[in-house]
Amino acid sequence: MDTKIASNDYPLHELLKNRWSPRAFENKFIKPELVRSLFEAARWAPSSSNIQPWYFIAGFKGDDTYESISKTLVEFNLLWATRAPLLFVAVARENNNRGEPNVSALYDLGQAVALLTVQAMAENLYVHQMGGFDAEKARELFEIPVGYKPATVVAVGYMGHSSDLHPNLLKMEVAPRERRKASESVFSGKFGQESKIF
């Protein structure tokens, strides 16, 4: 197992410190009750006006839904994602209950997946979100109606070994985790102005 722990500058919860997005997944089934807890965590995410604009199309490895999701992935992601035992498409409902555009839909879907990710870490599961998929193909394969946006495909599983990966992926898998400093993202007064918080 290849873990990559955040080199945080300030105290951080262990679940967040240990969270990362591996491509090496162990070929190990996830118990359905654990998967139900993941989506229960997503259910309790905050959302604008409590619209809860998140929907998920989920498949276990070997079933038809999983195979259809894998058909939407770009070639690069096919190199690794289909080792994960669970794949799902995250979908955002684009309108509010009055039929008007919900400008918070993608933000809220992201919060739901973030909470799912933390719940996964609590169960020793890892989550890797992918933008590299064909959203229109997903729409067609799953008959996703107009007004609902396929936003990402997510792989979930137990962490495997980087040595099992395609050689083209190894360098990325073992590279150190890097983030810009929090002080570079937090401003006061106006955008770009250094905050006194740091």
For the chain, the domain total comes to: 1
- Quick one: pLDDT at residue 1? 60
To the nearest whole number, what is the mean pLDDT of the chain? 96
Q: What is the CA radius of gyration of the chain?
A: 18
Confidence of residue 168 (pLDDT cuts 50, 70, 90): confident
Q: Do the beta carbons of residue 79 and residue 50 sit within 8 Å?
A: no
Q: Give a yes or no: residue 155 inside a domain.
A: yes
Q: Give a yes or no: residue 62 inside a domain.
A: yes
Q: If 0-12 CB within 10 Å is exposed, 13-18 middle and 19+ buried, where does residue 60 land?
A: middle
Strand runs labelled E in 7-165: 54-60, 86-93, 126-130, 148-157
**Over pLDDT 70: what percentage of the chain?**
99
- pTM listed for this prediction: 0.95
**Alpha carbon 97 to chain centroid distance?**
26
Confidence of residue 190 (pLDDT cuts 50, 70, 90): very high
Q: Give a yes or no: residue 124 inside a domain.
A: yes
Q: Do the beta carbons of residue 112 and residue 42 sit within 8 Å?
A: yes
- To the nearest 10 degrees (0 to 180), the angle between helices 32-43 and 105-122 is 140
Q: Give a yes or no: residue 171 inside a domain.
A: no
Query: What's the rounded Cα separation, in Å, for the pair 111 and 20?
Result: 16
Q: Give a yes or no: residue 8 inside a domain.
A: no
Q: Give a yes or no: residue 92 inside a domain.
A: yes
pLDDT digits (tens, 9 = 90+) for 99-136: 999 999 999 999 999 999 999 999 999 999 999 999 99
Residue in 157, 184, 146 with CA at minimum distance from that of residue 25: 157
- Quick one: pLDDT at residue 32? 97
CATH number of the domain bearing residue 111? 3.40.109.10
Q: Give a yes or no: residue 39 inside a domain.
A: yes
Q: Provide the domain limits for residue 69.
A: 22-162
